[in-house]
Chain A
């Protein structure tokens, strides 16, 4: 089980590093992302769920995220680098360090989705197999040596050069992390999926998550 936690953490670190690395090197002109969002989350092992609704504003040059949350209660979160400040009625009531911020990664990813391989190639993953069915291209990637202890393979699906999904399979042949991108729209030539579904399996978690975006602005 410990291996599973380590796996998830390493996977997260990998994803985060990958995204930040992409961001630093990217010559993309897109600097900010603004949208209304809805996050639905359910942990089937604990039988609890969360709904979060509001507006998100991400600024790439400042590496700053502003969340204006209006459901289930009104709060404002400002995240700069990994420090999160929480406000209620414009009054600061909490500061914390957010290290495992997967959702932030999602927002950052959105500005980089033009790469339809999830950045795997740049991180040393090697294409092992390519197949096509009904216009969707499936690629199986094998990890570099450093990931081989816990990742068996990664499968990506893309259609019309847009990433449709990524599934990470562990050495026990279990798909422990899956992300699917749906309902693409183009804003400022940037493909944005209006729906992202995720599934993570951890020690005490079996988390299903759906993120919706509306009223998107990209600059």
Chain B
């Protein structure tokens, strides 16, 4: 009985040892991430410190610390790009596919469902490209299909003159 208990204990211990992750490694992962972000944000932190200490507007900051502003390529205006707008198209589907799948109707959907601005212009343009590509593909398919059909019809219907056949 003792032997079984000892064996069970040993198994449990070894299971625990092998199953548990290395906390040092995990701690390191978080510390490294912290360091990486801090390193990348060093210049930004410096600008923020100046803004807090001197209470400057963007214009004043750019005039007083042009090198810092230029090297950080600091945006002079507010844009809502601080929010991820990657899926800012109808239903999150890129404009190209609206145009590609629905043609002119797709372009219209993109145009009507988006607010006026650069985003709408871009998405409508993409929808137009999608529509043109679809039309191009359709035309190629159309001509190839009819071309092949026509050629096979001609081949089947054309009899090779016996004189020529004899030479082959």
Chain A contact residues, CB within 8 Å of chain B: 5, 8-9, 12, 38-42, 44, 47-53, 69, 71-73, 75, 77, 84, 86, 94-104, 129-134, 136, 138, 140, 155, 157, 164-165, 167, 175, 178, 180, 197-199, 208, 210
Contacts and interface: CB of A to CB of B under 8 A. Distances in A.
Interface in B36-86: 36-38, 40-41, 43-45, 47-48, 51, 57-58, 72-86
A183 to B, nearest CB: 12
B158 interface: no
B22 interface: yes
Given A50-B82, A72-B58, A96-B119, 9 more contacts: A9-B86, A9-B87, A40-B48, A44-B40, A71-B58, A96-B85, A98-B88, A101-B83, A210-B45
Given A5-B86, A94-B117, A133-B27, A197 B80 contact: no
A42 B40 contact: yes
A75 B78 contact: yes
Interface of B: 19-24, 26-27, 29-30, 33-34, 36-38, 40-41, 43-45, 47-48, 51, 57-58, 72-88, 92, 114-115, 117, 119
Nearest to A100: B84
B110 to A, nearest CB: 13
Contacts of A9: 86-87
Name the prevailing secondary structure of the A interface residues: strand
Contacts of A167: 29-30, 33
Nearest to B34: A180
B41 A140 contact: no
A51 B33 contact: no
B27 A134 contact: yes
A155 B80 CA distance: 31
16 contacts: A41-B44, A48-B73, A71-B51, A72-B57, A96-B119, A100-B84, A100-B86, A129-B21, A138-B27, A140-B26, A167-B33, A175-B33, A180-B30, A197-B41, A199-B36, A210-B37
B20 A208 contact: no
A40 B37 contact: no
B3 to A, nearest CB: 30
A72 B75 contact: yes
A50 B75 contact: yes
B41 A129 contact: no
B44 A42 contact: yes
B125 to A, nearest CB: 18
B80 A77 contact: yes
B23 A132 contact: yes
A98 B85 contact: yes
Nearest to A137: B23
Given A73-B78, A155-B26, A100 B48 contact: no
Nearest to B71: A47
Contacts of A103: 82-83
A51 B47 contact: yes
Best-surrounded residue of A40, A44, A96 (most CB of chain B within 10 A): A96
B83 to A, nearest CB: 5
B34 A49 contact: no
Contacts of A38: 48
A55 B44 CA distance: 19
B87 to A, nearest CB: 5
B126 to A, nearest CB: 16
A12 B83 CA distance: 12
A50 B88 CA distance: 21
A197 B34 contact: yes
